[in-house]
Structure 1
Amino acid sequence: MSNVFALIPARGGSTGIIQKNIQPLLDQPLLAYTIIAAQKSGVVDAVYVSSDDDQILAMAHYYCAERIKRDYHFARDDSPLDPVVAEFIHRVKPAGKDTIILLQPTSPLRQAKHIVEALAEYRDFPCCRRLISVYEISNKYMRAYVGGGEFLHLLAGEHTSLILREDLPSLYLPNGAISIFKVDDFLREEIIPRSHLIPYLMPEKESLEIRNEEDIRQAEAYLRARS
């Protein structure tokens, strides 16, 4: 029987908020919201926190999560998540059919129910290679122009200017809250799958990503209203 692993990448460095991943958010550190959501979901066999920072790893231990001391080469501002996942697979050695649920700690409004629903949706589409959580945005942006060169260019091509807005396709932005894929699909190219994606739709308010102090205040206001 295959296992489900929650992997929470929580590096120590942060350009917006110092030690953002353990910044207080109401009565708990930011990281705790993601650990607790994974644990409460009841669909995860083990929760791992990957970090280069000893303080973050100590916090993970306090909340009963497994810990992986991340190689500092994979904890820079511009470090992609692919080597973080590869390091997890190398250390933990999950089976190829096992599932990884990647949960960013900067999404504290993601709840256990979202993880449960997303995993169920992922399992309903065996032909997909990855599920990502998203929220819907206005399709008017299909008519946006791209600058940076000598001339402007339509983002989605010239034909979009001829299509009625109600006939334009839906648009979604990823929110970083949930990403699900199998170990085998990662190991094909040693990267998180970029094709055959399906969406898990979340409300825009619950898609908030913590990047600055204003985001902290918005998250606290939402959490107070929700309790």
Structure 2
Amino acid sequence: LADALYWDTLDPYHYVRLQPLSTDEVLVIIGGEDHKAGEADDGEQRFAVLEHWARERLPDLGAITHRWSGQVLEPIDFVGFIGRSPDEEHVFIVSGDSGQGITNGLVAGILIADLITSGSNAWEDVYSPARKIYKNLGEYISENITPLKNFAEYLSASEIASVEGLRSGEGCLVRSGLQKVAACRDQKGQLHLHSASCTHLGCVVHWNSLEQCWDCPCHGSQFAPDGTALNGPAVSPLAELEKPAHHQAAE
């Protein structure tokens, strides 16, 4: 495989690049099969589809040595947010890289340096974090009703007694009175009960069995089984709740 960056235009998309390890060893890095954060819990299936896609195109591919997932910030109009923060004269933003962090980092290094030293740059309007976005308005509206759909989840959930059936590595949403509870057992069998309300803006978190964490579908925050905030915008942990007196550890 020639040393280059490869990607397709499918949805979900795929990409390939090479990473030399030594003079005779090369890692092939293959990514894609993305989904909106917090709206799917099928990581194993996505890895399987990704491997099938790769082996069809690279029949000499060796063993898989590493697997991971990560979040990518996708602006509605596909252009990064680079420049002066709205209403902040001396604060600058670089975000929305769409997985193109090296490219956008170079653009940001030029653009922001110009804004600081000369006050302007030819690209500043294109990348401006304060720009008005008119493309893909349907997706924009869909993204912004996610919190409304999410809050409706407060109306449905199993009773908290159902946590007795959780096995190690499993998580679910349950109800304790009017309160929505994020319940999970970590890999050691320890039961954790926390408020299911994300500490950023209150959306209901969802269990991510692959990464063993709670994901917020509204803005991408992630929390460890013990409630610790792992990924922003949330910085505070999920509120801890009292465990039922009769709970037991699970195998």
Aligning the two structures, in what range does the TM-score lie when normalised by the shorter sequence? Answer: under 0.3
TM-score (norm 1): 0.23
Q: Which of 1 and 2 has greater Rg?
A: 2
TM-score (norm 2): 0.22
* Greater relative CO, 1 or 2 (CA 8 Å, sep 6+): 1
